[in-house]
Amino acid sequence: MLRMAIVLLLLAGCAKDPAADLQYVKQARSLAAEWALINRQANAGKLTGTYVDSMHRWLHDSLETAGSSLAKPDSPYGNEMQALLAEPANAAPAKLQRHAEALKQVEDALESA
């Protein structure tokens, strides 16, 4: 029983490590890139308004879920994710791509740590 408690405490301590947030950073980066692509295609008139609105809701909800799952929400990557969430649905694709690139740098740093 004591061993189980010690193992659980160690696992809980590991969950607070920024590396535990890697999956959410990857998810946010992917969502930012997808959002940029959708807006680029929408601006070119290649997507229906219904599809674009639906995707914007899905992307926003997914980003909120990833952000709320972070072990370190007040980290630089948490702040980047919040900045991404604050963007309007019709944000410029280049601006969304910059968010994706910033998250990619964090992702690479967490993977090499």
What are the tens digits of pLDDT across the range 67-112?
Answer: 999 999 999 999 999 999 999 999 999 999 999 999 999 999 999 9
Q: Break the chain into its structural domains and give their ranges.
A: 18-112
Is pLDDT of 12 > 90?
no
Q: Using CA atoms, how far apart are residues 21 and 46, in angstroms rounded to an integer?
A: 35
Q: What is the pTM of this model?
A: 0.84
Give pLDDT, residue 16.
Answer: 55
CA distance 98 to 19: 22
Which pLDDT tens digit goes with each residue over 29-68?
999 999 999 999 999 999 999 999 999 999 999 999 999 9
